[in-house]
């Protein structure tokens, strides 16, 4: 068993280089280094509010004042965050043609900000909003401006329908991105899991679609025993070191 950190970095880099097709699967742990608390830890968002009320479709539609005083505050907070070394490293692997894309549980937009081009955002995103009546899309800033003017719930300028964020809330169906991600993994050899506890369904089943698995997470996951390599380290530093080793091996 490989125990030395530097040796594991070298093996991870070689796995990525030799893989015919690789994807990353990211969770909240990759974004904590950008100042975003995760949702379930002792310091996470859900310790301050009930998630079923905070980010619920039912509450959004039936009790919008509560939604915009709780769940919306989380979404608004995410828009001001910046990507960290982990996001940047994955975008670099994609640029080097060694990563086919990113599947993310996160709604913080940080992969897009870091330069990742191929993303499957299986829990949605907070860049945009849409009307639940006519489907017209707007930038998130439109919702922010309306809420600041105390227009609750915000209404569509086109038809007067209710606007909602492009996030998957409790009570929503999984988006098309999830099925697209599953289809991608059916032909993927290596999955790099970063910052996910792999305890939230149905995303926690995705590692079972691949033959090779690297897990980078600060705490153990249920899939650690099935992984080729496991790093219980900070995501940013680990991914940065892997990219550096990839470049060293390839003489870049």
Instruction: Write out the binding residues.
Output: 131, 134, 156, 159
Inter-CA distances, 161 with 42, 66, 169, Å: 38, 19, 19
Q: Is 232 annotated as catalytic?
A: no
Q: 45 CB contacts (<8 Å, ≥6 apart)?
A: 37, 38, 39, 51, 54, 74
Rounded Cα distance between 231 and 217, Å, is 6
CA gap 183, 205 in Å, rounded: 13
Q: Which stretches within the chain are classed as H helix?
A: 5-18, 51-54, 57-62, 64-69, 71-78, 85-95, 110-114, 140-148, 176-185, 235-250
The annotated binding site for Zn(2+) is made up of 131, 134, 156, 159
87, 111, 123, 232: which one is catalytic? 123
| Structural tokens at position 130 | 């849409």
Catalytic (active-site) positions: 123
């Amino acid at each position: 068993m490989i125990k030395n950190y530097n040796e594991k970095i070298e093996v991870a880099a070689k796995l990525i280089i030799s893989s015919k097709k690789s994807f990353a699967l990211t969770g909240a742990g990759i974004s904590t280094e950008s100042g975003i608390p995760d949702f379930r830890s002792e310091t996470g968002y859900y310790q301050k509010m009930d998630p079923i009320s905070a980010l619920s479709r039912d509450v959004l539609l039936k009790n919008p004042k509560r939604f915009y005083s709780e769940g919306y505050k989380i979404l608004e907070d995410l828009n001001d965050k910046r990507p960290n070394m982990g996001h940047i490293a994955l975008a670099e692997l994609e640029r080097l043609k060694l990563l086919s894309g990113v599947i993310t549980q996160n709604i913080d937009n940080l992969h897009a900000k870091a330069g990742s081009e191929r993303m499957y955002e299986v829990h949605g995103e907070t860049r945009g909003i849409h009307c639940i009546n006519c489907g017209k899309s707007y930038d998130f800033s439109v919702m922010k401006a309306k809420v600041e003017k105390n227009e609750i719930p915000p209404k569509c300028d086109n038809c007067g329908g209710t606007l909602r964020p492009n996030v998957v809330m409790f009570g929503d169906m999984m988006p098309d991105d999830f099925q697209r991600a599953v289809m991608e993994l059916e032909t993927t050899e290596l999955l790099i899991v970063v910052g996910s506890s792999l305890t939230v369904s149905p995303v926690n089943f995705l590692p079972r679609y691949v033959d090779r698995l690297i897990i980078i997470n600060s705490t153990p996951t249920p899939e650690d025993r099935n992984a080729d390599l496991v790093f219980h380290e900070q995501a940013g530093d680990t991914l940065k070191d892997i990219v550096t080793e990839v470049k060293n091996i390839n003489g870049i």
